[in-house]
Chain A
């Protein structure tokens, strides 16, 4: 589904990705993890074509994405920070995205699910962070695409909404879709992810099942396992 080869990216002096290779198969939920600034969002943005790599190739659905844009038709993306044009109303935003994508959508039941009905005629600027995130989720999930990319989907969500989100993700998975997700909430990752990809210093440090990771780090707790990688690498770098 996604092939990444020898990916390099530097922001001014800051080398974020240095020769990253990644191969993601079709189907399943992949969690992209890593310490702050390890390049998770950069990787996602490169896949989406929002950030342009210095070196290396990225192929989505078997085709290189360089200078292409039509492939985004097949990707649903939930951005990390849900900021929207503040002048627009929720209803208009949804209509606009539908208009831009020209795809069939099922926003009605999603709006119902997250209880957004009362907010439809409110301007986006007046919404709370959590409500904005819900709108964000509706926008990402309302189309039917084979690939989903969720950047920190849990931000600002209340428990009820969080449960609904998890259900949604599972539903999509059952439809045989590929889902890429980043999150800082390890509990959430543990719950949903089939496989994790751990980024460190611009490279893939680990890719595999959670159980494999725990084995590797000889930890019994997932959160601890992740923390162990971090400490271990600091040790190695120190040494």
Chain B
């Protein structure tokens, strides 16, 4: 598997898109820090970017890479290599190269700005951890969609729809159901609904850092327990981990049963 990972990774590292992605983050980091000179604001803007863009990029790259490397995959399938290794290797190759672009692209400007002497280091590392999780999760989801759809256009469409659903539509439905059922106690429901969407989950994780003052304004006991103690952080991270593992597991499962 490590060999496949290595080749996928190198393959992507050479592709133009990895550089575009990397340069985008690099530029974003520099603009936010050096033109604005406001670290706290930079962290907030970055959060918005990471929550929306990282899943989108992960999805598109994942699907694109899967379909583009179909030949590579077929070549590998005839080799004495375990099937799961092939797909896990490719998946991790994509996810790692995207993560690397993200971490380096944002890390370099922050390093140059002297972030390690600033107290937002924790917020910033949390952003990077969340970004990494989101990359892993959405690349895995993209691979899942691609492996289940032979048709490239269809697969691409489903992947973008999946992103759109999780990034926007889900929250819309979520909000609507909260308003419709506002007479009922909703804190358990709203936390559960948050857990079921990796984007909301990551957002919550960052909210715990950025907006804890506002979150503690709500009276519900479940909220208080979740946001007021470390349990929120721990549960969110565990859930993100599950969100990473489940699509990966399904990818392995599907890959063992698919015809090429």
Contact = CB atoms under 8 A, between A and B. Distances in A.
A–B touch (CB < 8 A): the answer is yes
Interface of A: 11, 45, 48-52, 67, 69-73, 75, 77, 79, 81, 83-88, 96-97, 99-101
Given A73-B80, A100-B3, A87 B14 contact: yes
B78 A85 contact: no
A63 to B, nearest CB: 14
Interface in B229-260: 256-260
Nearest to A46: B259
B77 interface: yes
Nearest to A88: B11
B78 A100 contact: no
Given A49-B77, A69-B81, A72-B80, 5 more contacts: A45-B259, A71-B80, A84-B72, A85-B75, A100-B3
Nearest 10 pairs of A and B residues by beta carbon: A83-B71, A72-B80, A73-B80, A77-B78, A51-B259, A85-B72, A50-B260, A50-B77, A69-B82, A87-B11
Contact of B71 (A48, A51, A85, A96): A85
Nearest to A67: B256
A69 B83 contact: yes
A101 B79 contact: yes
Contacts of A81: 71
Nearest to B75: A84
B202 to A, nearest CB: 31
A64 B258 CA distance: 19
A97 B77 CA distance: 12
19 contacts: A45-B260, A48-B77, A48-B78, A49-B77, A50-B74, A69-B83, A71-B80, A72-B79, A77-B78, A84-B71, A85-B69, A85-B71, A87-B14, A97-B79, A100-B76, A100-B79, A100-B80, A100-B81, A101-B80
